[in-house]
Structures are given as structure tokens and as C-alpha cells.
Amino acid sequence: MYKFRQTLARVYAYTFILYLLIPLGIMGAAAFNDNKTPSIVPWKGFTWRWFDALWADDTMWHAFQNTIFVAIAASALAVLVGTSAAILINSISGKLRTTLYGLMISTLLIPGAVIGISTMIMWTKIGNGIHSDFILFKPGLHLSVLGQVSYIAAMVMLLVLARLQSFDEGLEEAALDLGASHNQVMRRILLPHLYPAIGAGAAVAFFQSIENYNVTQFTRGGANTLTVYVFSKVRSGITPTINALALMLMIVTLALAVVYEIKRRSRARVEAAREAEARRAAALEEAF
């Protein structure tokens, strides 16, 4: 019975993976089909021309550069805000903790279109109220960054809060008793413990920003991002150039995932070797 359950679980896992990968494979294959429609049916022959068209599309590359700029800026701010909020929430208790936590989480429940419209209206109203022509108060990519951070920071906060649950607060107290300052405790004890969660939060923030459409659409002004550009191409007539772009993004994402996994396993082997060495040393001490 156990073997049957194990086999059934494996079949389910493989089926689920295929269910996810087959559409991606079909989409990627369409980038090599010599057909003006983004499909593998009918197959009219192998071609590289959609990659050539993608390379020559200056508008798309400019939108891609804007997307990367927004994603990097939003990730940096979201990590800063989310990590700070997590540390603050973890250090307080009572109604204040519940209120602050609820305020941060509530942004995840608000539709992206509402966040985008609210961000645009708020900053333009502030600019009109103080009669300022400063660029901050006008629609543009900077407002896209601020709008995205308002909800992406909550995702980072949740990841850091989860990591804080495994932190031994006794380490902080011991460091303070030994004469360390609060700044040293933060830099040398707390933050090193949070680095995995901060890194994961930065990755989540980066990819959430890249795929964002609703907030960006209402705050971007006249600037283009990749999602807005792709949506405009869908309305005007999509070609397999989009498939070529998607295939390149998938390859880069998979390459980064493989590199991360290799480094993670390398670190795990090093940590396991250190733990084994520590156990052997402890056993030798007990023996003598």
C-alpha cells in the first residue's frame, strides 16, 4: 500500500510538472515557426527571423530597459521598507503590532488598478496643492516604483517575519552584555541571520515588479514598460516576436535558478561538513 501511494504521488508530481511545462514549450516552439501567427499549427518551417525582428525592435528594448530600472528601484525600496517593518513588528506587541501588521498586509488585498489610480491621484493632487512643477508630482516611472512598493513591501515583510521566528533573541542579549552596541548587533548578528529571507524577498520583489501591469499602466505617464508594450502589441496584432522574447526570458530565469540551486547545495555541503566536524570534536572531548 505504501509503494502504491508513493508511485501515485510521483505520477501526480510528474503530471503536474508536465501540465506547467507543456504550454511553455509550445509557446517557445512558436518562436521558431515561420508563421506570422504565434502558433505551432500550422508548422511552416524553422526560422530565426522572429529573433532578428526582436533584436531590431528598438521600442521593445527601450521598454525592457524601463522595466529593469523600475524593477531594481522597486526591489531596493521594497526590501528596505519590508525588512524594517518586519523587524519593528517583531519587536513590539499588543494592539500596535496588530494594527501595523494589518496596515501592511491590507495592501495585498487591494486591486492593482486601485493602487495605480490612487498613487497617481495622490501625487498629482499634492503637486497641484503646493503649485509645484517638480517631476515627482507628475506621472512617470518614479510613480510606478512608488505604487509597486506599496504592496510588494508587504511580501518582503512576510518573508522576513517568517525568518525572524527562528532567530534566537538570546544572541542579541548576550552580545549587548558583552559590550556590543545596538548597531553592531544589527549588522553582525541580526542581519546575517536575515540575509536568506532578504535575498528571497528581493527576488520576489524584482519579478513581481517585472510582471506588474495594473499599477504601471495608471502611473507610467508616457513611458513604456514591457508589460504595457506587450499588451499594446496584443491589441494591435501580436506576432511570434513576443514568443521569442518570452523564450529568452524563460532561459535567463532557468539559468539563474540553476545557478542559485548549485550555490545553495554547495553552501549546504559546507555547512554539513562543518556540523560533522563539530560533532566529531565534541565526541573527542567527551571521550577524553
Question: What's the 3-state SS for 166-235?
Answer: CCCHHHHHHHHHCCCCHHHHHHHHHHHHHHHHHHHHHHHHHHHHHHCCHHHHHHCCCCCCHHHHHHHHHH
Write down the pLDDT at residue 132.
66
Q: Is 262 among the domain residues?
A: no
Contact by Cβ (8 Å): 219, 119: yes
Q: Is 157 among the domain residues?
A: yes
| Geometric angle at alpha carbon 220, from 64 and 63, rounded to 5° | 15
Write down the pLDDT at residue 288.
63
Beta-ladder partners of 46 = 33
Write down the pLDDT at residue 230.
84
Q: Can you give the CATH number for the domain in which 187 is found?
A: 1.10.3720.10
Q: What range defines the domain where residue 129 resides? A: 65-238
Please state, in angstroms and rounded to a whole number, the distance separating the CA atoms of residues 163 and 200: 11
Beta-ladder partners of 33 = 46
Write down the pLDDT at residue 95.
87
How many domains is the chain partitioned into structurally? 1
Q: How far, in Å, are 4, 28, 60 from residue 51 at the CA level?
A: 47, 12, 12
Write down the pLDDT at residue 229.
86
Please state, in angstroms and rounded to a whole number, the distance separating the CA atoms of residues 62 and 223: 9
Q: Which amino acid belongs to residue 208? A: Q
Please state, in angstroms and rounded to a whole number, the distance separating the CA atoms of residues 19 and 7: 18
Please state, in angstroms and rounded to a whole number, the distance separating the CA atoms of residues 24 and 213: 21
Q: Which amino acid belongs to residue 181? A: S
Residue range 73-130, pLDDT digits in tens: 999 999 999 999 999 998 888 888 889 999 889 888 888 889 988 988 888 888 777 7
> What angle in degrees, to the nearest 10, is found between the helix axes of 191-211 and 226-236?
20
Contact by Cβ (8 Å): 131, 99: no
Rg, the chain, Cα only: 25
Q: Is 225 among the domain residues?
A: yes
Q: Is 269 among the domain residues?
A: no
Listing DSSP states for 69-113 in one string gives HHHHHHHHHHHHHHHHHHHHHHH--THHHHHHHHHHHHHHHS-HH
Q: Is 90 among the domain residues?
A: yes
Q: Is 149 among the domain residues?
A: yes
Please state, in angstroms and rounded to a whole number, the distance separating the CA atoms of residues 160 and 154: 10
Please state, in angstroms and rounded to a whole number, the distance separating the CA atoms of residues 189 and 139: 41
Q: What's the chain's length in residues? A: 288
Q: Is 95 among the domain residues?
A: yes
| Geometric angle at alpha carbon 202, from 198 and 203, rounded to 5° | 120
Q: Give the pTM.
A: 0.81
Q: How far, in Å, are 18, 114, 211, 218, 251 from residue 147 at the CA level?
A: 36, 10, 14, 10, 29
| Geometric angle at alpha carbon 207, from 53 and 192, rounded to 5° | 140
Q: Is 139 among the domain residues?
A: yes
Find where cell 508616457 sits: 222
pLDDT tens-digit profile, the chain (288 residues) = 678 888 888 899 999 989 988 888 888 888 888 888 888 888 888 889 888 988 888 888 899 899 999 999 999 999 999 999 999 998 888 888 889 999 889 888 888 889 988 988 888 888 777 766 776 778 889 999 999 999 999 999 999 999 988 887 777 778 777 787 878 888 888 888 888 899 889 989 998 999 899 899 889 888 889 888 888 877 777 788 888 888 888 888 888 888 888 888 888 888 888 888 878 877 777 766
- C-alpha closest to that of 144 among 260, 79, 223: 223
Write down the pLDDT at residue 131.
67
